[in-house]
């Protein structure tokens, strides 16, 4: 039996478009003697559809699309079957009113063959808001060449039942337990598992446990592409019945790969591709920017280029994602901007080959001072004056974005967002925060990699300069500064980032109490200061643009702290 693993990049809600994508896959492999095509979880509507699922008309359209697609596939080939993930309405009026289901399309019709049992409600997931859990595991009896194949069908979280590997498990049945006595020929998992660093390896280890428990090969097909804050890496694979890797699809790329069941009977394993963590991270962010712009109908982007390392990294990612002709940089020096920063920003724009324009803001600052000097508050001073500079820049960038229909890319990092070292309606302006889930120390690490030799493959793939530095040693070695007052440094207001970031990781990603961090040896005064800044900045983060999630805990839909609390 020959399978096609269709690692697809759907547009959420675009039922017709996603159906056409599935049909295109089937048309491409028509002459390859494929028996079964496997697509990802909720592949017809895209994942996560969120509150689009509250629209009852959606399911009439879904049914109509399935009927039409079944007919088209039957006309294409009577011997081809396709597994597709859908949202299935329940027959009663109780809530939730849907199942997260899988249908098989074959011989001109379609039918439900599986429903998801374990529904995640942690981090960015909220599936119990929409779906109810299935009560039983699913087996597809699939006829092929006079043999009845017993195929277990699971959906994403249903195989995440190994507490020793994942540290925790969703409450409920173990969907694999009832399959252990069934003597399956194959287990298939349709998935929409978002990217975080090192997760692809964990998925393979989880699936390997399933293959050993069930003594059968495992096929894992994952969604790829960016949908809002989430990035899906694909990284689909097939394992033999001993849990060894026999087939692997590329990460961050929509692709189709054929897999013969006979090849999964072999005992040997293939070598998994293991690029550096920096390369994986870079590719993830590039895909996130590309798909956010494409799916939101932005053709180009604008960036405020300061000469600092954050905006340099965002500009490089944007060029890789959109192409240099689609990225526009604006330099907005104030009286406090150093000549070196302006020079570095200009040099970076020239190296990347992007259009750039210089718009000094001194005159605008003076205009504000003139207006406010006649008010009862007087000319802004201190932090107010510094924030005003940032807001002037933010207003200019938003005006240009509106005028030219650019996507404004915010350049703030996670460390700044965590402690509020950013300005509402200023440098926080934007349609997408590219590195808002990247700590400052990680920004430096990624830029070091970009300027090193090991980035050559990515440079070629994304048409970046092939030789020489891109970010530059001048930018990478420069002490971080917002340059909003004379000789300002970030370290004037914050601990050094190599001290700050480990504390933030403990507070944000490990949810450690301050007492535990102090016991671990962190300075008590600094820990309490950072924890206080983290809490005080909550109201800012509620108003921040969506950011690309790449960590276990990002400031996005999976971060639900109250603003008013004690």
Catalytically annotated residues: 41, 116, 156
Q: What is the SS3 assignment for 498?
A: helix
Residue in 29, 17, 145, 10 with CA at minimum distance from that of residue 76 = 29
Residue 557 burial class via C-beta count within 10 angstroms: exposed 0-12, middle 13-18, buried 19 and up = middle
**Helical residues (DSSP H) of 331-439, grouped into ranges:** 339-352, 362-373, 382-404, 414-419
Q: Which two tokens stand for residue 149?
A: 């194949």
Total Cβ atoms within 10 A of residue 291: 22
HEC-encoded secondary structure of 235-298: CCEEECCCCCEEEECCECCCEEEEEEHHHHHCCCCCCCCCCCHHHHHHHHHHHHHHHHHHHCCC
Q: What is the SS3 assignment for 13?
A: coil
What pairs with residue 109 in β-bridges?
106
Longest dimension (CA), the chain: 90
Give me the residue label for tokens 């060449």. 145
238: enclosing H helix or E strand? strand 237-239
């Amino acid at each position: 039996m020959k399978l096609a693993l269709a690692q697809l990049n759907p547009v959420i809600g675009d039922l017709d478009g996603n159906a056409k994508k599935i049909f295109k896959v089937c048309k491409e492999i028509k002459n390859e003697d494929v028996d079964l095509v496997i697509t990802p979880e909720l592949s017809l509507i895209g994942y996560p559809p969120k509150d689009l699922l509250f629209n009852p008309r959606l399911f009439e359209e879904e049914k109509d699309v399935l009927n039409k697609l079944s007919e088209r596939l039957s006309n294409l080939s009577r011997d081809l079957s396709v597994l597709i993930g859908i949202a299935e309405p329940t027959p009663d009026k109780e809530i939730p009113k849907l199942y997260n289901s899988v249908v098989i399309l074959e011989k001109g019709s379609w039918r439900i063959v599986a429903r998801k049992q374990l529904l995640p409600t942690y981090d960015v997931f909220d599936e119990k808001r929409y779906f109810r859990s299935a009560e039983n595991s699913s087996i597809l009896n699939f006829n092929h060449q006079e043999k009845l194949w017993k195929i277990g069908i699971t959906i994403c979280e249903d195989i995440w039942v190994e507490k020793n590997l994942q540290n925790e498990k969703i409450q409920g049945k173990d969907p694999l337990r009832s399959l252990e006595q069934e003597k399956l020929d194959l287990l298939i998992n349709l998935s929409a598992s978002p990217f975080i660093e090192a997760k692809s390896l964990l998925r393979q280890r989880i699936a390997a446990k399933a293959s050993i428990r069930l003594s059968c090969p495992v096929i894992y097909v994952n969604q790829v592409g960016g949908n809002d804050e989430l990035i899906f890496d694909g990284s689909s694979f097939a394992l033999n019945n001993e849990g060894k890797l026999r087939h692997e699809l590329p990460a961050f790329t929509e692709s189709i790969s054929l897999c013969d069941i006979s090849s999964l009977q072999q005992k040997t394993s293939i070598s998994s591709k293991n690029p550096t963590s920096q390369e994986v991270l870079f590719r993830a962010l590039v895909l996130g920017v590309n798909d956010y712009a494409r799916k939101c109908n932005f053709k180009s982007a604008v960036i405020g280029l300061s000469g600092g390392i954050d905006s340099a990294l965002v500009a490089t990612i944007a060029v890789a994602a959109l192409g240099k002709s689609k990225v526009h940089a604006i330099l907005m020096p104030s009286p406090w901007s150093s000549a070196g920063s302006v020079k570095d920003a200009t040099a970076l724009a020239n190296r990347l080959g992007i259009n750039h324009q210089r718009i000094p803001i001194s005159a605008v600052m003076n205009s504000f001072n003139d207006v406010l000097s006649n008010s009862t508050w007087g000319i802004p001073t201190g932090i107010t004056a510094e924030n005003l500079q940032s807001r002037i820049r933010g207003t200019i960038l938003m005006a240009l974005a509106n005028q030219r229909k650019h996507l404004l890319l915010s350049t703030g990092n996670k460390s700044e967002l965590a402690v509020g070292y950013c300005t509402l309606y200023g440098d926080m302006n934007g349609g997408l925060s590219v590195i808002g889930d990247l700590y400052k120390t990680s920004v430096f690490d990624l830029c070091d990699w970009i300027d090193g030799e090991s980035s050559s493959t990515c440079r070629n793939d994304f048409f970046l300069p092939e030789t020489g530095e891109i970010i530059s040693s001048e930018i990478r070695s420069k002490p971080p500064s917002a340059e909003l007052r004379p000789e300002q440094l970030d370290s004037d207001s914050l601990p050094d980032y190599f001290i700050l970031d480990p504390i933030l990781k403990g507070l944000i990603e490990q949810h450690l109490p301050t007492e535990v961090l102090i016991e671990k040896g962190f300075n008590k005064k600094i820990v309490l200061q950072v924890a206080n800044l983290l809490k005080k900045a909550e109201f800012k983060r509620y108003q921040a643009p969506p950011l690309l999630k790449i960590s276990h805990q990002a400031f996005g839909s999976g971060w639900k702290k109250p603003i008013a609390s004690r």
